[in-house]
Amino acid sequence: MDALIAGLVILVLIFLFLGIGTWVFAGLLLVSVTGLALILDFPPTRIGVIVSKILYRSASAWELAAIPMFVWMGEIIFRTDISERLFRGLAPLVDRIPGRLLHTNIAGCTLFAAVSGSSAATTATVGKITSSELAERNYDTSLSIGSLAGAGSLGLLIPPSIVMIIYGVLAEVSIAKLFAAGVFPGLVIAALYSGYIVLRCLLNPALSPASEDTYTWADRIAGLANLAPVLILIVIVLGAIYSGLATPSEAAAVGVTATVVLTLVMRQLTWGIFCQSLMGAVKISCMVCSILVAAAFLSTAMGYLHVPQDLATAIGALELPPAGLILILAGFYIILGLFLDGISITVMSLPITLPLILQAGFDPLWFGVFLVIMVELGQITPPIGFNLFVLQGLTGHPIGRIAAASMPFFFLMCLGVAVVTIFPEVALWLPGVLFDK
C-alpha cells in the first residue's frame, strides 16, 4: 500500500479510536496493531515481539526518571501554602503597575513553572489563589481568566518541563540544553502577556480597580520573604543542572528532596499531604509513561509503513522555503492541539515532523522550543484544552466563556512563536553560553 494512503488510514484510525472516547494509550496501541496486521499483514507473533522490545526500550530510558520526580515536586507544592506565599509576595511588587494584581497571574505562573514542569499543575496552583482574590476585588473576569489560562501554559516552556524531557528523549537532544533554550522564550511570552494587560488597563482603568491596600517599600521588601521558598527551589534545581553537578534526572531527585526538607522546616508537610502528593505523582506518571510506550509503538509501526520517510521526501520535493515549512507545521500543530494533549502531540508527531525539520536544516534544539510553544497553544484551545478544563473547575464559568477570554493570549503566544522563529537566537543564545564553551 502506498505510504500516503497508509498514513491517511492511520490518521483516520487515530481520530476514530480517540473520537469514541478510547483512552489515549489504548487507542494508539489499537491503531498500531491494526496498521501492522491489516496493512502489512504481520502475524500476531511478530507484532508481539515488536511490542516487547519497544516496551522495554521505551520504559527503561533513564531520562524519563525525571518525570515522576518533577511531578511529585509540583504535587507537594500544590498541597502546601507555598503557592499562597507566592501571591502574598507578588502583590506588593505589582501594585504600581497598570493592571496591578492581574500581573500576579503572569509572574506567579512564571515562577511556579520553574519548579513544576506541568501546565495544568501551574494553572491549578496559581489559579486556586488568584482567581478568588481577583474576583473579590472586582477585577475584570475575562482578563483575569484569560491571563491565567495563557500564563499557566508556561509550565511547559519554562524549565523544568515534562514535554521537553520527552522531546529530548525521542529526538536525542540534550535535555539540559533544551531547558536552557526555553528560558528566554518563556520570559518573552510572559512579557507580552504583561504588556497586553498594561495596555488594556491604560485604555480602560476600570478593568483593574484601585487597590484598597497601600504598600510601603518595607512591605515590598518583606514580601520577598514570601517568595523565598519558590526562589530557593528554582536555584537548587536549575543550579544543579547548569553547574554540571547533576543531570536533569538527578536534579529532579535533588528538587524533590529539597522540597520535602523545605516544607518540613516550614511545618507544612504532614503525613497525609505526603501520601496524597505521592499518589498524585504516581497516577500522573503512569499516565505519561503509558502514553509514551504506546506512542513509541505507533512510531515504529509508521516506520514499517514508511510514512515518515515518504512524507518527508514528498514535502521535500515541493522545495518549500523554510518559512513555508514552519507555517505548514504551525497549522498542523494547532489542528492537533484541538483534539490531543501535549504529550500525545509530541510523541505522535515527531516521527513525521523531525525528519522534515532536519532535512530543511533547522536546529533540533530550536525546534524543541517551537514544538513546546505550539503544544502550549493547544492547552488553551477547545475542545481539548486542559487549562480551560482546570479553569472551569476553579471558576465555575462555562467552557465557552473561558475559551473566549483566552483568545487574546492565544494570539499573543502566536506572536511569541513568530519572534522565536524570526530571531532563533532568543532560544539558542543561552544554551550556547552555558554549554558550548
pLDDT tens track for 20-60: 767 767 877 888 888 888 777 788 888 888 878 877 776 66
pLDDT in tens, 235-280: 998 888 888 788 877 888 898 999 999 999 999 899 999 999 999 8
Are residues 302 and 7 in contact, defined by beta-carbon separation less than 8 angstroms? Answer: yes
Rounded Cα gap, residues 290 and 296, in angstroms? 10
Contact status, residue 182 vs residue 372, Cβ threshold 8 Å: yes
Which residues of 119-238 form beta strands (DSSP E)? Answer: none
Distance (Å, whole) CA 142 – CA 204:
14
111: closest CA among 132, 141, 88? 88
- For 301, the domain range is 3-435
The structural domain count of the chain equals 1
Is residue 52 left, alpha or beta, with left meaning phi > 0 and alpha meaning psi from -120 to 50? alpha
The segments of the chain whose pLDDT lies below 50 read 1
DSSP state of 157: T
The reported pLDDT for the residue numbered 13 is 78
pLDDT of residue 384: 63
pLDDT of residue 430: 93
Distance CA 314, CA 320 (A): 11
Alpha helices in 305-363 (DSSP H): 307-317, 322-337, 342-360
pTM of the model: 0.79
204 class by beta-carbon count within 10 Å (0-12 exposed, 13-18 middle, 19+ buried): exposed
Q: How many CB atoms are closer than 10 A to CB 171?
A: 18
Residue 121: CB atoms within 10 A of its CB come to 26
CA–CA separation, 341 vs 336, rounded Å? 9
Cell numbers linked to 75: 504535587
**pLDDT for position 122:** 82
